[in-house]
Amino acid sequence: MDAVLAEMSGLSRNHIQQLIKQQHIQNHRGETIKQASVRVHEYETYVVNIPPLAPVELAAEDIPLDILFEDEHLIILNKPAGMVVHPAHGHQQGTLVHALLHHCSDLPGINGVERPGIVHRLDKDTSGSMVIAKSEMAHRRLTAMFAAHDLNRQYVAWCRGNPNWHARHIELAIGRHPQHRQKMAIQPQGKMAVTDAEVERQFGSFSRLRLTLHTGRTHQIRVHLAHEKLPILGDAVYARSYNPAGNIPEPARTAIRTLERQALHAELLEFAHPVTAQMLSFSAPLPDDLQRLNDALARSYR
C-alpha cells in the first residue's frame, strides 16, 4: 500500500506511512486502512486525505545576506552553500526565509507564512543567484515567468569526466526515484526536464560545464549530468564516493578531497523586471570554495 500510494501521489513513502498511522487513508467503501503492508490490486480505489499543515511561527533571525540588487518589488541575492531556502523537516531555524524576515518586515504577507517571497529554490548545498518577491504583484508575475520558463538561468558545474561533445541539449523526464524517495531519477513517466550543457574548459579528466535551465525540476542539473556520466564533484547523492588517486596532480587532488558540497553554482540570472519590464542581469560571484577548486584545477592542468 505505502509503496503504491507513494508512487501515485508523489508523496514520500514515509509520509504515506504517517498518514496511514493517523487514519487518513480509506478504501472505496470508506473503510480506514490501518496497515502499510496491505496489498493493492488492480481497479481498487483509495482516498488519501492530507490534513492541512499546521502554521509555523517563524522568528526573524539576524543572518547576513549577500544582496546583489533590491528595490520595492524584489531582491536578488547570492545564496551561500549550506543554507536551506525555507523551513522543512529538520530545518526549522537558520534558513533563508528566517534571514529575509529580519531584512524585510512586510514579507510575511507574500506567499504565506512558511515561504514568504519565495518563487524558486536552490538546493541547500548549491550556491548562487536567487530572486525574492517583495510585493504581491511581483510574486504573481515572477511565478508566471518561472512557469513559462521566461528567464535566463545559467549554472556552472565542475564534473568528473570528459564528454565527447562540446554542447548538448538534454531533454529527459525526471521523477521520484522508485526505491530512494529522497532522490530523483530519469523516469519516462516523470515531468519533462530540459537542460542545455556546454563545455567551458577541460582539466585533465575533469570538466567545467555551463548549464542553461529551460525547466526547473528538483535536482535537474545533478540528475541530468549523472545520467550523462558526468557526476558533479562533491555530490554525495548522485555521484559515487570519489577519492582522487595519486595520478591526479596537486593541488587538484587536495582541492577535490576537501570539497564539502556539490560543485554547482547558479551564476547568471536574467529576466525582465516583473513590474517595470526593465531587463535585469545579475552574475553571482563564485564563492571561495569553488574559486579554490577552479584555480587548483587550472594550475594542475596548464
**C-alpha distances out from residue 124 to 31, 105, 233, 265, Å:** 41, 24, 16, 11
Q: Tell me which residue has cell 530512494.
A: 180
Closest CA to 119 of 99, 140, 101: 140
Task: Verify whether residue 196 is a known catalytic residue.
Answer: no
CB atoms within 10 A of CB 67: 12
Is there a cis peptide before residue 251, judged by omega within 30 degrees of 0? yes
CA distance 24 to 19: 5
Asked whether the CA dihedral 30, 35, 36, 40 is positive or negative, the reply is negative
CA distance 186 to 96: 29
Query: 220: alpha, beta or left, given left = phi > 0 and alpha = psi -120 to 50?
Result: alpha
Q: Tell me which residue has cell 506511512.
A: 17
Residue from 123, 125, 235, 289 carrying the catalytic annotation: 123
Q: Which residues are designated catalytic?
A: 123
